[in-house]
Chain A
Amino acid sequence: MQIEEFSSGDSWVHKLDPRVKIVVTLVFSVVVALNSHLEVVAISLILPFVLIICARLNFGKVMLRLAIVNGFILFLWLFLPFTTPGETIYSMGPLTIQREGLYQALLITLKSNSIILMVIALLSTSRIFTLVHAMSHLWVPDKLVHLFFFCFRYIHVIHEEYHRLVNAMKMRGFKPRTNMHTYRAYSYLVGMLLIRSFNRSKRVLHAMKCRGFKRKFYILHHYEMKRFDYALAGSSLAFSILLMVAR
Chain B
Amino acid sequence: MIKLRDIRFKYASHFLFDGLNLTIERGDRVGLLGANGCGKTTLCHIIMGLLAPESGDVEIFGKKRTKESDFAEIRGKIGFLFQDSDDQLFCPTVIEDVAFGPLNMGQSPEEAKRTVTSTLKSLKLSGFEDRITYKLSGGEKRLVSLATVLAMKPDFLILDEPTSGLDEKTTQRLVEILKESNLGYMIISHDRDFIKLTVDKLIQMKDGQIQTADWNSLEM
Chain A interface (Cβ within 8 Å of chain B)?
Answer: 127-129, 150, 153, 156-157, 200, 203-204, 206-214, 218-222
Contacts of A221 in B (CB 8 A): 109
- The segment out of B23-31, B94-102, B169-177 that lies at the interface is B94-102
* Given A206-B82, A220-B95; 18 other pairs, CB 8 A cutoff: A129-B93, A157-B134, A203-B84, A204-B87, A206-B48, A207-B80, A209-B72, A210-B48, A210-B75, A210-B80, A210-B82, A211-B148, A212-B72, A212-B101, A213-B100, A218-B100, A218-B109, A220-B103
8 A-B pairs within 8 Å (CB atoms) are namely: A153-B90, A203-B84, A204-B87, A208-B90, A211-B148, A213-B100, A220-B96, A220-B113
| B112 located at the interface, meaning its Cβ lies under 8 Å from any Cβ of chain A in the complex | yes
Give Cα distance in the complex from A28 to B79, angstroms: 48
Residues of B96-125 whose CB lies within 8 A of A = 96, 99-101, 103-105, 109, 112-113
- What B residues does A150 contact at CB under 8 A? 90
Tell me how far the C-beta of B195 lies from the nearest C-beta in chain A, rounded to whole angstroms: 23
User: In the bound complex, do residue A212 and residue B104 qualify as a contact, i.e. CB atoms below 8 Å apart?
Assistant: yes
A157 to B141, CA, bound (A): 14
> Which of B80, B93, B109, B152 touches A222 (beta carbons < 8 Å)?
B109
Chain B interface residues toward A at CB < 8 A = 45, 48, 50, 72, 75-76, 79-80, 82, 84, 86-88, 90-93, 95-96, 99-101, 103-105, 109, 112-113, 134, 148-149, 152
Task: Across the interface, name the chain A residue whose C-beta is closest to B109.
Answer: A220
Flag if B112 contacts A211 (CB, 8 Å).
no
| Cβ of A219 to closest chain B Cβ, rounded Å | 7
Nearest 3 interchain pairs by C-beta? A212-B104, A218-B103, A211-B101
Measured in the bound complex, the distance between the Cα atoms of B148 and A214 in whole Å is: 16
How many angstroms from the CA of A153 to the CA of B86 in the assembled complex? 10
Contacting pair B72 A214 (CB below 8 A): yes
Q: B96 and A206: CB pair below 8 A?
A: no
DSSP majority for the B interface?
helix
Across the interface, which residues of B come within 8 angstroms of A156, CB to CB?
A: 134
CA distance A222 to B96 in the complex (A): 13
B90 touches A212 (CB 8 A): no
Known: A212-B104, A218-B103. A200 touches B109 (CB 8 A): no
Given that A220-B109, A220-B112, A220-B113 are known contacts, is A211 also in contact with B100, CB under 8 Å in the complex? yes
Q: Could you tell me the distance between the alpha carbons of A94 and B19 in the complex, rounded to whole angstroms?
A: 83
Contacts of B72 in A (CB 8 A): 209, 212, 214
Q: How far is the CA of A200 from the CA of B83 in the complex (A)?
A: 12
A214 touches B90 (CB 8 A): no
The distance in angstroms between the C-alpha atoms of A207 and B55, with both chains bound, is 24
Distance in Å from the Cβ of B75 to the closest Cβ of chain A? 5
Chain B residues with CB under 8 A of A204: 87, 90
Instruction: Write the nearest CB–CB distance from A240 to chain B, whole angstroms.
Output: 31
Contact of A212 among B82, B84, B87, B105 (CB under 8 A): B105
Q: Contacts A220-B96, A220-B109, A222-B109 known; A214 to B88 CB distance under 8 Å? A: no
List of A residues within 8 angstroms of B109 by Cβ: 218-222
Residues of B within 8 A of A210 (CB): 48, 50, 75, 79-80, 82
The reply to whether B104 and A211 contact each other, CB–CB distance below 8 Å, is yes
Contacts of B88 in A (CB 8 A): 207
Q: Are B86 and A157 in contact (CB under 8 A)?
A: yes
Taken together as a complex, chains A and B put the C-alpha atoms of A127 and B72 apart, in Å, by: 32
User: Which residues in A have their C-beta under 8 angstroms from that of B104?
Assistant: 211-214, 218
Inter-chain contacts of A200 with B (CB < 8 A): 86-87
Query: Across the interface, which residues of A come within 8 angstroms of B149, CB to CB?
Result: 211
